[in-house]
Structure 1
Amino acid sequence: MLRVDGGRTLVGGSPPRVLHLSRVAHERLAGPSGVPADARLVVGDPTSAALARLLTDAGVAHPEPAHADAPDAAAVSVVVPVRDRPRELARLLAALAGSGVGEVVVVDDGSADPAATARVAAATGARVVRHDVSRGPAAARNTGAAASAGELVAFLDSDVVPEPGWLAPLLGHLADPAVGLAAPRIVAWSGAGAGASVAATLTLNVRKAPRSIARRVVARYEERRSSLDLGARPAPVTARSRVAYVPSAALVVRRAALGAGFAEDMPVAEDVDLVWRLAGEGWRLRYEPVSRVAHEHRDTVGPWLTRKAFYGTGAAPLALRHPRRVPPVALAPWTAAAMTLLGVQRRWSTAAAGAVTLVATVRLAKGLYDARRGKDRARGVTDTQRLQRHAADTPRELLRAARLAAVLAPWGLGGALWQAAGALTRHWWPAAVLGALVSRRIRRALLAAAVAEGLADWWRFREPGSSDALGHVVAHRLDDLAYGAGLWWGAWRHRTLAPLRPDLSGKAPT
């Protein structure tokens, strides 16, 4: 978060927002030298409650996951959809032992050996509900929710292992009656911790063959960049933000918010659809990485790429159900113009892109200054009164607005470059490759994007001292190729270009 003017203006969140704090709001947060990075707001009255809601909804502040009024674990019904995974199910149920949840409902979604599922569930006291024929994970979750009684429903896939203490932070968020869903961070399972001994017993001590180089590269990449792992920072969950969705591999939902549950006609992306429907109904959704649930990631190249392509096929039905929420890029008109000019790859076009950015900076500075004046008008202060009472402040306010705009405009252009590089190598790569066959400029742009974005991604997610940039970039590009192939296949199958069209309006979806 960027603090300007002693914290009177806050810039942060995803997408970035500029918040001008009132005097009262600033006083609630400020210390002797402005608003510190670790400022805390204790909610104790309507004013502090309204300020907390504003800051958390904007994503510039985050609720603490511990709360005295958090629901008890006994109010939670755990629902586990499973099909032919007795080993993984036993591992999960062992990890849940002692968690204090009210009940565990296992939904056997048409397993070939239902007796094995029943034996594993009976060993831990879990209740089993069965589908004679597989109906898919969405239907299995809905069946389990309907068969359970808890005020809160925790959905856990059979291939996850909750780490100790995973539930309490999520329940802390659900102490807020406006929060309808809370989700943990999904991390790579190391084979240790709760459930590991059970898994070792069930494998009958069969020794696995050493991983190949390709499998090690994929496993390392998935530890850093799994599609299920949404990072180490807490966030509100909202479309077109840093945390735009949370996976159904592990999440806790308030029953009152769940409604009809998961869309059973969506074999993929049904979790994203649920999240966006809840947000559209006004529920707040929280991602809390203090809560950790481990997942056994795929590391065999073929199944890994198949799963990535499968994820890509979900973009088309999502785009049809939730217009403007899954564009490959979302740019303001001026950043789109600047990116187009840079793509021409000529000196004059680069200079023109700089001119567009300069004009946008000036217009942004004026907009920021006018926004401050608009707040005075909302309080009933006329321009004449403002000039009389704050004449000396006007030049300073203009300078503050110019300085902030000089930060925000390049920030916006950098974000546009990042989006464009990602779209070229992920969402649009089939078209980009065809263009590269006939255009030297497109070849240069595609190669530069593939290398620069890949290296930047490695640098962003690397561990200190790691030197595996090549393997990471190769895996990242394969990830994008598979996802993009699935996206185009899904778009063709649904006869729509919606997930391929950029959004150049510069406005958030309604």
Structure 2
Amino acid sequence: MTLPAPHLPLGFTVELNRRARLTDGGRSLIGGSPTRVLYLTETAARLIVDGRVTVTDAASRALADRLLETAIADPVLASLPTPDPAEVTYVVPVYGRPAALERLLVSIGDGSRVIIVDDVSPDRAAIVEVAERFGADLVLLEQNHGPANARNVGLRRVTTPFVAFVDSDIVLDPAATPALLAHFADPRVALAAPRVLGLRDDRGLNWIGRYEEARSSLDLGIHPATVRPRSPVSWVPGAFLVGRVDAIGDGFSAEMREGEDVDFVWRLAADGWRIRFEPAARVWHEHRQTTRDWLGRKAFYGSSAHPLALRHPHDIAPAVLAPWSVGVIAALLAGRRWSVPVALVISTVAAVRIARRLGRSEHPYRVATRLTAAGVGASITQAMALLVRHWWPVAVIASFFSTSIRRALLLSAVVDAALEYRRTRPDLDPLRFGVARRLDDLAYGTGVWWSALKGRSVLALLPDIRSKF
């Protein structure tokens, strides 16, 4: 489908996000993903009032659209038109778990059209009974081909403008679907996703459940975001997604049994569509709490790396680094007395070269220093993640032969857990959180390596070293 012309409605308001920064008296704007500097005309600068731009005419519409496209601003949910919930159909892929399906249908409520696609459940009679009791349309497949195919089968039966793909182990907040539908006031939005939280039941949560409640792979945080590869929110889970039917075409890649949601998002982004993550919309997911199931699911997530690398070789990299930041990391990993001075020299040279490209800024060296410091911090964070997550088998082996690698691995394991504990503030003591954090990364990394060995390719393990300084 050809992308529609950007035509945000009157009253549509966007707000600069937390990573954006106005400088030069409001005439320069730093932020976005990837980070960039926008130089504003006097007219454009006046349109930003208290960090917001409201569409009132062609100029404000163009500026708001530009800020959305560069991921410098996000829509203000309260400014978006009230959607019609009758315009969405729920598609539910099902394999067993009739009790969870019933719980989901209760949360969807009466009056909504629901299409249940049974993927050859072992207890099909129970699924049929639940579907009939709630008046849902039921499609019975003859062969099991996985959730991606089941969603597509349901999608082909949708006649409304929007579709909500929802897994059976989800419970909806009543406000979730309306909040996501509101984002489609932007004609470039193809997909919107909520925040996925852990579901508490009468049994309560054990220590794994409390870790997942704070640090679930499906919970993408508290801040709204544009979703695209290599950005702070680079994907959204398929557990609950609302899509524009005309934009999403045939839907998911039916042959994929893992990573199909990531592939779905990245294909839409590559075609120029916008995908929104909206944490004000909330759903609850039944997290796994037994150690075996939990670790197995983490490894399963990691096993999608190679299939995704085949389809998206330029987006799957576990880290994205500039050549100068590689030099900084290498110097610090050496663990010598000269390491910090050399890292500072490399960072200073990088800042000078960045400043030379900021000729229109009033204070190019000040801006360049901030950008360089942010780049160093991001590079160190990515390096720690590589050591304890994606590269842990190699890092562990190397630690037996290198004191500096051993020191870096241990430091990364502790610092990473401490930072995540401080960020998430879980209902769990630091020791058990740290253990769970390390098990999480070990299981995920194992899945990545298994998929790489099985596919005989290390593409999913290689960082992307950008050619530009």
Calculate the TM-score normalised by the size of structure 1.
0.85
For residue 494 of structure 1, report the CA deviation from its aligned partner: 1.1
- Report SS of the residue matched to 1:243: coil
Matched, 1:455 2:465: no
Equivalent residue, structure 2, for 1:288: 278
Structure 1: distance between partners of 2:52 and 2:409: 45
Matched, 1:10 2:29: yes
State how 1:1-150 maps to structure 2 within 5 Å: 1-30=20-49, 36=50, 39-66=51-78, 69=81, 71-98=83-110, 100-101=111-112, 103-150=113-160
Structure 2: distance between partners of 1:64 and 1:360: 36
- Report SS of the residue matched to 2:338: helix
Query: Structure 1 residues 266, 474: closer, same or farther in 2, change over 3 A?
Result: same
Structure 2: distance between partners of 1:477 and 1:507: 34
**Number of aligned residue pairs:** 450
- Report SS of the residue matched to 2:279: strand
Calculate the TM-score normalised by the size of structure 2.
0.92
Check the 8 A contact 2:390/2:445 in 1, yes or no.
yes
Structure 1: distance between partners of 2:219 and 2:213: 9
Structure 1: distance between partners of 2:71 and 2:342: 34
Structure 2: distance between partners of 1:123 and 1:297: 27
Structure 1: distance between partners of 2:54 and 2:335: 52
Equivalent residue, structure 1, for 2:258: 268
For residue 13 of structure 1, report the CA deviation from its aligned partner: 3.1
- Aligned match of 2:269 in 257, 271, 279? 279
Q: Give, as a single letter, the amino acid of the residue that structure 2 aligns with 1:403.
A: R
Equivalent residue, structure 2, for 1:177: 187
Offset from partner CA, 1:322-381 (integer Å, 9 cap, x none): 122121211011111111111111122321111111111111111112xx2xxxxxxxxx
Check the 8 A contact 2:88/2:160 in 1, yes or no.
yes
- Aligned match of 1:357 in 347, 353, 360? 347
- Aligned match of 1:432 in 395, 407, 419? 395
Offset from partner CA, 1:5-54 (integer Å, 9 cap, x none): 23322223344332222211101014xxxxx3xx2211122211111111
- Aligned match of 2:229 in 239, 242, 255? 239
Please tell me the root mean square deviation across aligned C-alpha atoms, in Å.
1.7
Whichever structure has more helix as a proportion of its residues is 1
Bigger Rg, structure 1 or 2: 1
Check the 8 A contact 2:89/2:164 in 1, yes or no.
yes
Structure 2: distance between partners of 1:467 and 1:490: 32
Q: Which sections of structure 2, spanning at least 5 residues, go unmatched?
A: 1-19
- Report SS of the residue matched to 1:425: helix
For residue 133 of structure 1, report the CA deviation from its aligned partner: 2.5
- Report SS of the residue matched to 2:357: helix
Equivalent residue, structure 2, for 1:388: none
Query: Structure 1 residues 20, 480: closer, same or farther in 2, change over 3 A?
Result: same
Structure 2: distance between partners of 1:313 and 1:122: 37
Structure 2: distance between partners of 1:418 and 1:310: 24
State how 1:381-392 maps to structure 2 within 5 Å: none
Structure 2: distance between partners of 1:145 and 1:294: 23
- Aligned match of 1:347 in 301, 316, 337? 337
Equivalent residue, structure 1, for 2:406: 443
Q: Give, as a single letter, the amino acid of the residue that structure 2 aligns with 1:290.
A: A
Check the 8 A contact 2:351/2:372 in 1, yes or no.
yes
Query: Structure 1 residues 17, 471: closer, same or farther in 2, change over 3 A?
Result: farther
For residue 132 of structure 1, report the CA deviation from its aligned partner: 2.2
Stretch of structure 1 that moved more, 312-321 or 498-507: 498-507
State how 1:294-443 maps to structure 2 within 5 Å: 294-369=284-359, 372=360, 397-398=361-362, 400-443=363-406
Query: Structure 1 residues 268, 96: closer, same or farther in 2, change over 3 A?
Result: same
Matched, 1:482 2:424: no
Q: Which sections of structure 1, spanning at least 5 residues, go unmatched?
A: 31-35, 192-206, 373-396
Offset from partner CA, 1:173-220 (integer Å, 9 cap, x none): 1122111111111111123xxxxxxxxxxxxxxx85xx7xxx722111
